[in-house]
Structure 1
Amino acid sequence: MATAPKIDSATDPMATFRGEARAWLAANFPPELKGKENPMSAVDGPDEAGDAERRWKAAMGDKGWGVPTWPSQYGGGGLSRGEARVLQEEMARAGAWNPIGGMGVMMFGPTLLEYGSEAQKAEHIPAIARGEVRWCQGYSEPNAGSDLANIQTSAIDAGDHYIVNGQKTWTSGGQWADKCFALVRTDKSHKHAGISFLLIDMDAPGVETKPIRLISGQSPFCETFFTEVKVPKANLVGNEGQGWEIGTRLLQHERSSLSSGGSASRLFAGTPLGRMALDYRGADDAGRLSDADLRTRIVRHEMDVRAFALTLRRAALESKSNAGPSATSSIMKNVGARITQDRAELAIEVMGMQGLGWEGEGFSEDELAQTRTWLWGKAVSIYGGSTEIQNNVIAKRILGMAEAK
């Protein structure tokens, strides 16, 4: 069995913390989980964790290391960015993964830390940090997708509470969520300034979800209906009419997460395309993939993946200002979506007919999973803001291009 590399305090400025992290992981990460896929990594799926996964989640939640850089007074790890990178390195060395995730971590938590009241942060952040509460996003509506500011779900002032009526669609994980952060209309006379950011309990009377079955055979999204739902005014984040500002900031966090740890994470998992191609297509006399054209396209793809990974790392290092994600997250989201879809297309081409199975004999589990991954990937350039919307953001907010008149 290989031994862990020694920690040299003379060359490693983080030696003390690295030793602490390494010792804690050795004592708390269940060895039977090493190298296994994280069953709790899905933002929009049911909790299928076993006993070992639950113990690991509880340990990370108690330590606050599931959200390592969040403030310790709200249940986070309180670590510096440098310490968080060391923790990530030590977790990778140990074959461990972060069991605390979901939309509360990806989007809502960081946004609430910026805009929430002290009471709201004290109520919601610790539960997110421990992975105890699942959140979903109430943004898109049947007639408010790309034009999100066209939302019609209303929140009428009723004294100490609001009465919410309306419909949301593409609510990821809505059927499993405990709470929803939603954009609602509190003023019909102003398109953007009439939008507010409201927190809604999914088990409140009048809330109903209907799962939407996708082409991949899964149902991770819902239609969500609100009928005369009473929501306390204490659940308003920020001020009335500030919802567009808060909601836009949350989308930056979402796009940053999707590019760095969401869809992009699939690029670095599973069998490398080159190895897969050799298995299915065979090698020439020199030991190379026999199809020269396919070989060239796979190499180009692998170069894109590595360049993207290095860019993500650089972006993380450059974010030390604590300013959080910016409009540049739109670039990363678009690039990550394209590379993710390219990989799925190449994998199907490599497998040939074996990559087109749906069920039945003659296909391995990996082959059937690849078919669904390919179909699932069609949504990557749509959710989190479509590629076209991101192009508009890039043109206006990064390149400074004026709108055509």
Structure 2
Amino acid sequence: MVGRVIPLGGGYSARPISFEAYREACTRLEGRIFGGNWGYAFDPPVKALPPLGETFQWGIFCGKELVGWHHAHQRDERTVYMADTGLLPEHQGQGLYSRLLPHLVDVYREAGYTLVTSHHRATNNRVIIPKLRAGFFIQGLNLYEGGLNVALTLSLDWPYREALHVRSGFRQAAGETARRLGLNLEPSGEEPEPAVPRVPVPETDGEGLDLGDGYILRRVPYEVYWNVYARLEDAAYQSVSFDWASPALRPSPDVPRYAWLVSHAGEVAGWQLSRQWDARTAYMVNTAFLPGHRGRGLYTRLLPVVLDALRAEGYRLVRSHHHATNNAVLIPKLRAGFRIQGLQTDEHGVMAVLIHSFDPVYREYMDARSGLTRPRGEVARRLGLKLRGPEFEGG
């Protein structure tokens, strides 16, 4: 392959290596890197591998020592597949993957690819988060011999990237994206953005919690939240939901609800609503910030407060649904310990299902289900597995 040396800082670099050198490194080191994963051992294959097409390999070096690798190959006429990245445990946790990723994307763009795809175990947030930060979108989940995988795609074509937002329901189709989707939209002139209503913060008991930069978080009764939400909903969302033809015939279940308002300079800047989902689970229904208050880290600061409150209410799990391409919310959720658990299509679009567990054993259980780790210790006992050997002991 043709490539260039990529400096990664701290004495690390990525250098092009041959496919043969990559395979040799895999044989020698993959046990140390991936030995804790839980995969299925097939019998030897009967069929030969299909041709890989164009391939890309880098060795990751600390000084002169090879400590990891990256391998990708052509999937079709538009797509390159990031098939394998590994790093020795003692060199993980230093941001090397995040620093390497944009260089790899530049190489694939220069090579003429439109799409970059990859698969990762669904609970492997250490890899999923930098991928989402780089612009990848969640595209699906599949169950395979390695466990539960999440499929990610990065589009290097801007209209197609916008089309993915349209598919998820996160944005409305417009312009070139609408044309590529075959939508013959009625022409519309440039309309000014509607003014965002200014809603004073309702009077509530207590002083609230300081979120920094002049933002205050206040717990409020559900009825107070709902009155604010009804006035500001249209200003808070660009997403496209299904327009039901008639109101729901049945009332909503009468379950406990937990609502907060975020204020700034005496006016409502955003909100959060959660409710009970089942006997163990709370559901984070709705979080929004008005346009002038986004991009300031408010969601990241709000999230631990809400989680602590739901834990104090006795819940063991917290569930949430988000548009599958809404990385601005998915990233802080994954950083806070949520795990991708599914995809569903509902009236709001294609939604990623996330679960947070306050129980460390259940968190390990999710890792075992995804194949990221082997069941051991208490997780194995909860699954009814009677394992032998010291490698299966412990928590």
What range is the shorter-chain TM-score in?
Answer: under 0.3
Q: Which has the larger share of helix?
A: 1
Considering Cα pairs closer than 8 Å and 6+ residues apart, tell me whether 1 or 2 has the greater RCO: 2
Q: Normalising by structure 1, report the TM-score.
A: 0.26
TM-score, structure 2 length as denominator? 0.27
- Return the index of the structure with the highest Cα Rg: 2
